[in-house]
Chain A
Amino acid sequence: MMVSLTGDPGETGETGRAAAASGGRRARVRGGRNRPGSWPAAVPLLAFTAVAFGIPAVALLLGAFTVRDPETRLSSFSTANVAGSLQGAYLNTLVSSVQLSAVVALLGAVLGTFLAQAVVTSRFRALRETVLTASGVLANFGGVPLAFTWVATLGNSGVLTQAFGLDAHGWSLYTFWGLAVVYLYFSVPLMVLVMVPALDGLKAQWREAASNSGATAWQYWRHVGVPVLTPSLLGGTVLLFGGAFAAYATAKAMVGSTVPLVTLQIADALTGDVLIGHENIALALSLDMIIVAALVMAVYLPLQRRSGRWLR
C-alpha cells in the first residue's frame, strides 16, 4: 500500500492534543450533567478492527512461535521460526531490505529537501503550486504501474536502454540500484511535501537577525536553520524508510526475485515455496518486519511532536 502518509505530518501533533484537552473540558462542563455517553457509536469501528485487524495480528504472533511436526501434525511452542528467520538467506533478505530502504531514505531526504528549498525560495507561485500538487500525486504513486513505467523506460528493452545502448555499459534496472532509482520516484515527492511547510517556517527575521549579528551563511545554517529543520528532516527520512521497506508490488512486478528483499521472501514463503516444516517462517519474517517498522515509527512520532514547536 503505497498511499503514504502524505498529509501534513505536523498537524496532528500538538493541535490534536490541545483540541482533545479542550474537548474533554467542555464535555465535563456542558455535557456532563445529563448527556448519556455517546460511546456506543464507536463500538462498531472498534469491533470491526478487533476482528479484521486483531485476529490476523494474533494469528501472526501465535504462528510465528509455533512449529508443526511434519509427521505427527502436532503444533508446539518454539522460537525456531524466529531464530531461523534471523539466519542465512532469510537474514540476507532482511538486511538487503534495510539497506535499500536506508539508501532510498537518505537520498530521497537530501534530494527532496533541495527540491523543496528550490520551490520555497522561488518567486513564481505557479511553480510552487505545480510542484506541490504534482508531489501530492506522485507520492501516492507506487505499485504495479510505477514498475511498468520504469521497465518500459530503462528495462532490458526499455526505450532509453535501447536508444543509448545502456545495457552494453552494464546498466540493468533489475538490481539494487535500479530499485533505488525507482523507489525515489515516490520518495522524493513525499519528502518535498514534508519539507515545504518546514522550510516555510524558517522566518526571515531569524536570517536577518543572524546576519545583523555578523553570522555568515554557513553559521546561519549550522546554528539556526538545520537545528530547526532537524525534526522534520529526520521525521521525513523515517517516513521514506518505512515506505521503501514496506513496498512489495513495485519490486515484485519489476525484479521478480533477482534482488533479495524481505517482502519478496515473505510472499514466496507464503505461496508455498519453502521447505517442509518451514511454513511458519513467513510469519516469523513478518514479525521481524513489524518490529523494524515499529522501531521506525517509535522514532518518528516524538520527532513529529518536536517539529511542531518551532514551525507554527
Chain B
Amino acid sequence: MAAVTPILPGDAGEAPAAGAPARPGRPARRRVWRGVVLIVAAAYFLVPMGASFWFTVHSEQQGFSLSTYAEILSAEGFAASMLLSLALAAATIAVVLALTLPALLAVRLGAPRLRPVLEVVCTLPLVVPPITFVTGISTVLRWGPDYLAATPFWATLIAIQDETFPVVLVMAYVVLALPFVHRSLDAGLRAVDVRTLVEAARNLGASWPHVMFRVIIPNLRPAIASASFLTLALVLGEYTVAALLGYQTFPVWIVTVSGANGRLSVAVSILSLLITWLLLLVLSGAGTKRKDA
C-alpha cells in the first residue's frame, strides 16, 4: 500500500494548477484535492508507525503481548550503549557551547570581520557528508603507527580512542553539531542587544565571568536550550561515525541486536523515536511559547 503512495499525490498534482487559484469560484473542488493530499500524506506517515508497533506487540504464537518492551531494559548491552551515548552527548554539548558562544560573542562585540569566517567554518560540516568525514578521521588514526609512533602525539592518539569514553567521537560530534548550534545561537544573539548589555554590566563594574554567567547566558537561555536539544538528538541518533570507528553507541547497538532479535530492535527503534520526538517537541513548544510572551 505504501508502495503506491508516492504516485497518488502526483495524480492529485494536476489539481492545484487548475483548482487552487480559482479561489472565488470553486471551493468544493479545492477542498477535494486538499483532502486527498492530506489523507494520502497522513496514511504514508502514520501507517509505518502503526505497523511497526503492531509488529512488536503481535505474534502468531503468542497473540498480543508487550513483553518485547519489557525485554529492552534487561537486554544485553542496552544499558552500556545508552550510557555511552548519553555521556557522549553531555560532553559534546558542553564542548560545542564552550567553543561557539565566546566566538559568536566576539563577532558581535568587536570583531565583525570574523563573521564570514565563522559562517563558513560552521557551514562546512554540512557540505561534507558524515561518511567522508569519518573516512578522513580513520585515515588520521591509521597514520599513528606509521608516522607518530616515536612522538608524544602517539600517546594522545591512543588516549582519544579509549573504548570506555572515545574522545575522538566527541570531537567528531562537535564538528557535526556546529552548523545547528551556530544557527540557534546566532538567532538568539540577534534577538538580544548584547553590546548594550555588556557595556552596561561592565560600566557597573561587573567582571567578565560575571557578565558571561549572570548577564549573557540567562538572556540566551532559549537559544542555548535549543542548541543543546538539537545536539542531544544528533548524538543519540548518530550511527555512521560511531559504527565505522567501531564504538558501541546506542544506534550501533540497535543494529547489532537486530541480527539476533528483530522484534527487539524494532521496539527499541520505536522507543528511541519517541524519545527524540519528545525532545524536539519540547524544543519547538519552548520556542513558540517564548514568541507569544
**Nearest-neighbor residue (CB-CB) of B21 within chain A:** A217
In Å, the complex CA distance between A3 and B22 comes to 38
Q: Is the pair B273, A145 in contact by a Cβ cutoff of 8 Å? A: yes
Contact with B along A242-276 (1 / 0, CB 8 A): 10011011001100000000010011001100000
A220 to B21, CA, bound (A): 8
Q: A282 — which chain B residues lie within 8 A by C-beta?
A: 135
When chains A and B are docked, how far (Å) is the Cα of A110 from the Cα of B41? 13
Cα A270 to Cα B135 in complex, Å, equals 7
- Kindly state whether residue B51 has any CB partner on chain A within 8 Å: yes
Could you say which residues of chain B place their CB within 8 Å of the CB of A121?
20, 30, 34
Which size bracket describes the interface of A in this complex?
35 or more
Q: Which residues of B contact A142 (CB under 8 A)?
A: 237
CB neighbors of A among B32-72 (8 A): 33-34, 37-38, 41, 44-45, 47-49, 51-52, 54-56
Tell me whether A20 is interfacial, beta carbon within 8 Å. yes
The chain B residue with its CB closest to the CB of A284 is B135
A270 to B133, CA, bound (A): 12
Indicate whether B176 reaches chain A with its CB closer than 8 angstroms: yes
Specify the chain B residue showing the minimal Cβ separation from A20.
B115
- Interface of B: prevailing SS: helix
A79 interface contact, C-beta 8 A: no
- Determine which of B124, B128, B251 lies in contact with A143 in the assembled complex, contact meaning CB atoms within 8 Å: B251
Q: Is the CB of A153 within 8 A of B129?
A: no
B218 within 8 A of A: no
Known: A52-B171, A249-B251. A221 touches B21 (CB 8 A): yes
A/B interface sample: 14 pairs, CB < 8 A: A38-B106, A42-B118, A56-B133, A137-B281, A140-B233, A143-B237, A144-B251, A152-B266, A154-B48, A166-B3, A177-B3, A217-B18, A252-B239, A293-B129
Name B residues whose Cβ lies closer than 8 Å to a Cβ of A.
1-3, 5-6, 9-10, 12-13, 16-18, 20-23, 30, 33-34, 37-38, 41, 44-45, 47-49, 51-52, 54-56, 98-100, 102-103, 105-119, 121, 124-140, 143, 171-172, 174-176, 178-180, 183, 187, 190, 195, 230, 233-234, 237-240, 243-244, 251, 254-255, 258, 262, 265-266, 269-270, 272-273, 276-277, 280-281, 284
